[in-house]
Amino acid sequence: MTEDVFDLACDLISCSSETPNDGGCQQLIAQRLTAAGFKVNHLPFGRVRNMWAQVGDGNPLVVFAGHTDVVPPGPLSQWTSPPYRPTVTGQYLYGRGAADMKSSLAAMVVATERFLLSHPDHAGSIGFLITSDEEGEAKDGTVRVIDYLTQQGTTIDMCVVGEPSSAKKVGDVVRVGRRGSLNGRIRFVGEQGHVAYPDQTCNPIHTAITALSQLVTRVWDSGNAYFPPTTFQISNMNAGTGAANVIPGELDILFNFRFNTEQSIEGLQATVEDHLLTNDPGIETVLDWQLSGQPFLTRKGKLLNAVQTAIRSVVSLEPDLSTSGGTSDGRFIAPTGAEVIELGPVNASIHKINECVRISELEPLAKIYQGILFQLLC
């Protein structure tokens, strides 16, 4: 039975699918799902490939969600084997996407095939929401599929996202939410000039230091029972001509908030704007914002109960419930009212050189997914 998951995982890893390319992954998945009785809809937007597949038309609608795109492999010379050639070394399967998240997709497909064979008269319906635009801009992927489903009058009740949530063993961590992500750009506008005549110019770097230090050292909140504290991080700074004797005319800052449910977007924006004005009302600044995602949280309910029961049954673990980590496409699904959790393989090697997954954990992951379907639809 293990070979079913392993073989499909290898087939998917073999597809070179650097974001936003799909590399043929969705076609492989669609063939398997069509054979299992699913109606498959391909939803391309530009270079992005999306797929919505559904079997059954009853409630609840339980969805497996994931992405076929991967991050760039990095220097090929540092890989012990080609990143798009699945390779077994010892107990591990190596290849780009092995952990994030082609093994999850393979396990989801196999779990669903087995479930449908064992329970052809199940209640409700099962869906697959797959995109090739998760690792990139995420503008033409899951968010566009959700728009399509809304137009079709299709409502997702519960969703399992196959992101690699586990820490040391498959099933030891389940993500029940994610912090929000808010990006900002500040342009401090000064006046370019010679460093020997600072009284005749305005150095935007010097002007920005106080305001930025206040934002960096500020305690935004203490978190809560579900989320860690909100963080503010500067990610990019750009100023200067490259010459040591020229005061720059502008300073560009990129920053990011990872925020919890104690904060609002409007509140964070207002605080930053107030800091800039309070520090020096004479500063000329240009401030732009981009929301990457609101925070979401799935509390104890049918989905989480089913997930915990399946994990206990298959791997005898009591999973930690976490909201840590970056963003995921769950941020586009949760606002529809769906219960959303993330469950997948160990994430220790994701986005790294020599990404890998432990082969012995492929079958347990499929059994957990199958158990979730059983708990919810039987």
CA triple 59-103-51, angle to 5 deg: 50
Task: Return the sign of the alpha-carbon dihedral for residues 156, 158, 160, 165.
Answer: positive
Catalytic residue among 4, 22, 69, 339: 69
Phi-psi region of 161 (alpha: psi -120 to 50; beta: other; left: phi over 0): beta
57 included as an active-site residue: no
- Close Cβ partners of 135 (under 8 Å, ≥ 6 residues apart): 19, 67, 69, 70, 71
Catalytic residue among 18, 113, 134, 342: 134
69 included as an active-site residue: yes
Phi-psi region of 54 (alpha: psi -120 to 50; beta: other; left: phi over 0): beta
Closest CA to 52 of 44, 63, 41: 41
Secondary structure letter of residue 364 according to DSSP: H
- Outline where 14-46 has alpha helix (H): 25-35
Cα 184 to Cα 234: distance, rounded to the nearest angstrom = 9
Cα 143 to Cα 45: distance, rounded to the nearest angstrom = 11
CB atoms within 10 A of CB 191: 14
Active site members: 69, 134
